[in-house]
């Protein structure tokens, strides 16, 4: 199997070089870009498995770069920024990022998050709550079709573009249809990490999924809130 390939996008050379050292120490290939335009050019030429994307950059910032990436690619994106306010994190998640880490950061924590995202992207579909899941590749729930082999989701026959994390959340609900899942359960089964005050992370992803799946996201047909407990998809 080829090495996993990560693209680091940051206008500060010292940061790019520091991250590269740690990732290469974990046997990960690294490409680097100094701005969003350079990153998009690399993405057209290289098979990238994950992007570490700084928000504040010249020419094309991280927000607009992420939006361009999400037009046709579902590879994981970790946003990197000096800003730590919740509003900035939510903005990054809303425009398609899979994770968010603030500067200054612990390089070992960043590497751990990169590895976690790569595992989900390359080995999608593990660590589900329900161990009694049928082995069929497809799950059908009232017009919602999830194909586990191709990682494709369709609503009434129309394919819906989801990021790897969004797909895994939908799959988790579908494989546990009728069961209420708490935010803690969703986080630990999808992110494969211990839950640590990540309510916003889960709720933002579910809001984004609803916007893609539902005709009227405010009156969802599929992922429904059970107040004070969590979320579920009815059987």
Per the structure, how many domains does the chain have? Answer: 2
Q: What is the mean pLDDT of residues 46-68?
A: 90
Same domain, 146 and 102: no
**pLDDT score at 40:** 94
Structural domain ending residue among the three candidates 87, 122, 157? 122
What is the domain range of residue 195?
A: 138-233
**pLDDT score at 29:** 92
pTM score, two decimals? Answer: 0.59
Q: Is the pLDDT assigned to residue 133 strictly greater than 80?
A: no
Residue 98: inside a domain:
yes
Same domain, 11 and 117: yes
Same domain, 168 and 219: yes
Residue 127: inside a domain:
no
Alpha helices (runs of H) in the chain, residue ranges in sequence order: 13-25, 36-45, 62-69, 86-94, 107-122, 164-175, 183-190, 199-213
Q: Which residues contact 231 (CB under 8 A, 6 or more apart)?
A: 173, 180, 181, 183, 186, 206, 223, 224, 225
């Amino acid at each position: 199997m080829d090495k996993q390939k990560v693209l680091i996008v940051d206008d500060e050379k010292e940061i790019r070089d520091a991250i590269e050292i740690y990732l290469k120490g974990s046997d990960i290939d690294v490409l680097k870009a100094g701005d969003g335009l350079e990153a998009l050019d690399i993405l057209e030429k290289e098979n990238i498995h994950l992007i570490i994307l700084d928000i504040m950059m010249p020419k094309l910032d991280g927000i607009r770069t992420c939006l361009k990436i999400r037009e046709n690619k579902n590879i994981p994106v970790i946003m990197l920024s000096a800003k730590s306010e919740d509003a900035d994190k939510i903005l990054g998640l809303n425009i398609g990022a899979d994770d968010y880490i603030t500067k200054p950061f612990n390089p070992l924590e960043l590497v751990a998050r990169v590895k976690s995202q790569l595992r989900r992207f390359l080995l999608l579909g593990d660590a589900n709550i329900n161990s009694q899941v049928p082995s069929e590749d497809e799950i059908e729930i009232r017009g919602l079709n999830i194909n586990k082999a191709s990682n494709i989701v369709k609503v009434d026959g129309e394919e819906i573009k989801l990021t790897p994390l969004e797909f895994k959340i939908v799959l988790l609900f579908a494989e546990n249809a009728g069961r209420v899942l708490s935010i803690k359960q969703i986080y630990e089964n999808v992110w494969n990490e211990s839950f640590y005050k990540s309510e916003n992370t889960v709720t933002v992803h579910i809001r984004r999924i609803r916007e893609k799946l539902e005709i009227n996201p405010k009156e969802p047909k599929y992922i429904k809130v059970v107040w004070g407990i969590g979320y579920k998809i009815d059987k």
